[in-house]
Structure 1
Amino acid sequence: MSTLDVTVATIGRAHGLRGEVALILRTDQPEERLQNGTAFDVVVAGRPRTLTVGRIRRQQDRWYLSFDEVADRTDAEALRGVDLVIAVDAEQEADEDPEAWYPSQLKGLVVRHVDGRELGTVMGVEHYPAQDLLVVRTLDRRRVQLPLVEQLVPEVDLEAGVVIADPPGGLFDSLPEDEQGPEPETSAPSTRTKG
């Protein structure tokens, strides 16, 4: 069985005094992936740690949860920004939605412009509140962040190993090597007055 790593959520702010945290969801199946007793192996401040879901609650459209191993606000604050990742059966996921893909599947794919030019290679996906960004290593070794929206990334073809991009003008253009900023202006020598 082949597995995929799926980021379920990113831990947000501590909420209250007893170790509860807000979640930034990264899955469209939170009810299935976040259940009491689900354990996540994470790294916090360079140390491996297991977090077991203890209590889940929803308030309006926000998700909050407590972990069995987290007892207070200080410990909860230390978890901020940690991704909760689980391994899922790749074949079962593909059967459920053949058009879907996961960020872990994109890493290493070739990024091509809609006109066929190669732009670079996918390094990963960064998650932000407004939208996710596709991180691309360009052919000249620069790091470019491309918003992962349908208008700019119209196609992801996992079988062909390619991401088709239609980036805004200039995003992938490299700067000339001799361009180091504006030239200093030349002017008439200034006169100094003694004080």
Structure 2
Amino acid sequence: MQLVVARVGRAHGIKGEVTVEVRTDEPELRLGPGAVLATDPATAGPLTIETGRVHSGRLLLRFEGVRDRTGAEALRNILLIADVDPEEMPEGEDEYYDHQLMDLDVVLVDGTEVGRITEISHLPSQDLFVVERPDGSEVYVPFVQEIVVEIDLEEQRAVIDPPPGLIDDNAARDEGADRHSASSRDES
């Protein structure tokens, strides 16, 4: 199985290094020297990581055969893709790969069907489940511990406890007055 682990950003310096937007919780495993990554578009790769380092909080990579700024700039916006065993699980508890969450049934704590996960949107502050409802409409569910209370991979479902108004647009406005908005702490 192939997973997107990073997106190449702008060139850094004149010796072929690039910044990368990391899209994995395991960069030391997926983006280490010697790693061979497929690319999207495929014509840009495969790319082999020669060196990696952190500079001012950003990961910088240099790929074999890329020695100057021009070569580095040519890689901008390319997605880096790692081959992962589909049976492999993330290291941390309560962490999931996107492919494990796709197509899970989403239900409320009382068992009421909400829909199924069709997409996971990775935003800077938190991840969102894009849930397709039975009528074809979509609802966005923040993937935070306060709302997504259980992921059951065996039963293929995600159990949620949403605040009033998140799922039902007609919820009484005063019903959630005492409830705080969801924390941006991502537990995925």
Fold in common (TM above 0.5):
yes
Structure 1's 9 and 160: CA in aligned 2 closer, same or farther, altered over 3 A?
A: same
In structure 2, C-alpha distance between the alignment counterparts of 1:73 and 1:147, rounded to whole Å:
39
* Alignment-mate amino acid for residue 107 of structure 1: M
Residue 127 of structure 1: aligned partner: 122
Shift of 1:71: 4.8
User: What 5-or-longer segments of structure 1 have no aligned partner?
Assistant: 176-195
84-93 vs 145-154, which moves further: 84-93
* Correspondence for 1:109 among 93, 101, 104: 104
- Contact 1:138–1:172 under 8 Å retained in 2: no
* Correspondence for 2:52 among 53, 56, 60: 56
* Correspondence for 1:84 among 80, 87, 108: 80
Q: How many residues align?
A: 170
Correspondence 1:65 to 2:61: yes
* Alignment-mate amino acid for residue 35 of structure 1: G
In structure 2, C-alpha distance between the alignment counterparts of 1:142 and 1:80, rounded to whole Å:
35
* Correspondence for 2:160 among 146, 162, 165: 165
Give runs of ≥4 in structure 1 deviating > 6 Å: none
In structure 1, C-alpha distance between the alignment counterparts of 2:36 and 2:103, rounded to whole Å:
28
In structure 2, C-alpha distance between the alignment counterparts of 1:146 and 1:74, rounded to whole Å:
41
User: What 5-or-longer segments of structure 2 have no aligned partner?
Assistant: 171-188
Correspondence 1:25 to 2:22: yes
In structure 1, C-alpha distance between the alignment counterparts of 2:133 and 2:77, rounded to whole Å:
27
Normalised by the length of structure 2, the TM-score is 0.73
Residue 147 of structure 2: aligned partner: 152
- Contact 2:40–2:81 under 8 Å retained in 1: no
